[in-house]
Structures are given as structure tokens and as C-alpha cells.
Amino acid sequence: MANPFDLTGKVAIVTGGNKGLGQGIAIALAEAGADIAVVSTRSETETVDKVKALGRKAIHIAADLTSTEPVARILETTLKELGGLDILVNNAGMIRRNDSVDFTEADWDAVIDLNLKSVFFLSQAAGKHFIAQGRGKIINIASMLSFQGGIRVPSYTASKSGLAGVTKLLANEWAAKGVNINAIAPGYMATDNTAALQADEARNKAILDRIPAARWGEPSDMGGAAVFLASSASDYVNGAIIPVDGGWLAR
């Protein structure tokens, strides 16, 4: 029996792939055989170098997804440089923290534009390509706040709740066309976005006390779910939001 998790010959775009969760996902997909287009605003080549060290092709595409302007270029560059597109991972995101009574319109718009608006329009562009070729995988990076309310992050909660809805909507429209759209909802992960929480002794303890696994997640913990959703092993999985949270939601 062929390995259903094998991604040999596949091409993936990973946004926000230069560090953190995006880097962990990109490396896992490459380990399974995929070539990777790393999209980020930063020009560091660490992820590209790691992917190439695994014997896979990799390119970096500099793009600021706080607007939809780079969307067409990202698709065109990937198709030209890597020869195809099979997987899109919408990982790029940001968070802004403030009490809701003081939250600014600028912080609202910045988060919604990156976390939700650009995700939809990049998915739309990739979706047109996937529908035309009769297959494709889109993996959105949701959050515990796709299920819960959180505190002091109103635009982030709105964006990740909206992303869960968009994931289901696109699955409803495109599943019959051979396109799988699903999401991974990471729990508390040790990344730059959570540095302030990790440094806050009281919040850090409260978080760890709630996680059955008793530790923060690492970017590499996202790899298994990402490979599953990118591979033929998930061909009958549509509109799912898979928690990778150390058991957080079970408490």
C-alpha cells in the first residue's frame, strides 16, 4: 500500500513561514517530500535553507499580506519557480492586545486585514487553480480563540472566529470540486506572539495549570496535523478544525 502521507512531488505555499509555527509546518511538509514557497515580509533564509538541506526545493517570496496586493504575485511566482501548486497553508498572522474599551480602529483593521481578509483572497486565488486542476489542499491556522472568547484581543478573536467560519464555508463550496479546506487550531505555543504571556509569571503558571500536557507547544508539534491535512490521508476530511493544544479544550 502506498504511503498516504507521502507529499513527494507536491508544492506548498506557507505564509509567515520564516519563523515560529510557519517554519515548523514548512519543515514538516518538506520532510514528507514537498517543495516549499516560504512567504514572509522578512528576508531571512533560515527556513529555505532548512528545507533545501532536506533535499527539497525552496524559494522565498517577500510579501506583506496586510494588503491583498501581493496575492497574484505569490501564486504566479510559485507556479513559475516550483512548477505547480498543491497545498496552501495560511499561517501568517498578528495579534494586538488592549482592553476592549481602549481598543483602536487601527489595531482592529491591521489584525483583520492580515488574519482574515488576506487569507480569504489568497485562498480564493489558490482555489481557482485547485478547482481547475481538480485537486488541492488549503490549511488555515485557526486558534483556541476560534472556540473561546479570550481577553484583551478583540480583533484577534474576531479574526480567528471568522477564519473558522470561512474554513467551513469554502469546504461547503469546494469539497465536491476536489479541494479540501480545513484548519489547525494551535493551543498555547512558544512563539514570538506569546512571548509576553510566557514572561508573565502569573499568566504562565495559570496557562500551564490548565494544559493537561503540562507544557507549552512547540512549532514542531504542528507538523503531524499539517502533513495529514496536506496529504491524501485527509481526502475525506472537509471543514474540520483540528485542535493541537495539549488537551486545553478538554479541560
Q: Known catalytic residue: 156?
A: yes
Q: What grid cell was written down for 217?
A: 507547544
Q: How far apart are the first and last CA of the chain?
A: 38
Whether the CB-CB separation of 37 and 81 falls below 8 Å is answered with yes
Whether the CB-CB separation of 115 and 100 falls below 8 Å is answered with no
Q: What grid cell was written down for 220?
A: 514542531
Alpha carbon of 11 to those of 50, 172, 197: distances in Å? Answer: 16, 24, 35
Q: How far apart are CA 88 and CA 123, in angstroms?
A: 8
The residue from 156, 174, 216, 228 that is catalytic is 156
Whether the CB-CB separation of 7 and 230 falls below 8 Å is answered with yes
Q: What grid cell was written down for 189?
A: 505555543
Whether the CB-CB separation of 225 and 244 falls below 8 Å is answered with yes
Catalytic residue set: 156
